[in-house]
Amino acid sequence: MTTYLMILMALVAVLGAGIALLSKNAFNKLIGVAVIASGTIPFIAIAGYLDVAVAVALLLPLTTIMILKITVGDDV
């Protein structure tokens, strides 16, 4: 069962890389990078670095919001 989940998470990370590679819009690239991170967090947890996985899971949405706010400006 865990093998299937690992394959699924690897496919999610590859899908995010494809999104980031093929998209022209900066916001779509940022979403692709977030999808890559969501696919790699389980691998960090499986390796035993639970504190790092929790830190990544908490900091990724915050940095995404900050980057969006910086790039858009006061329009949001």
**Mean pLDDT, the chain cut into blocks of 10 residues (76 residues total):** 85 91 85 87 90 91 84 65
pLDDT for the residue numbered 15 = 92
Range of the domain at 68: 2-72
**Alpha-carbon gap, residue 76 to 36, rounded angstroms:** 25
pLDDT for the residue numbered 14 = 93
pLDDT for the residue numbered 55 = 93
- H or E segment at 27? helix 26-46
- How deeply is 16 buried, as exposed, middle or buried, from its count of CB atoms within 10 A (0-12, 13-18, 19+)? buried
Domain count, the chain: 1
Q: 64-70: long-range contacts at Cβ-Cβ below 8 A with a sequence spacing of 24 or more? A: 64/30, 64/34, 67/30, 68/27, 68/30
Contact 63, 37 (CB under 8 A): no
pLDDT for the residue numbered 38 = 86
- Total-model pTM: 0.72
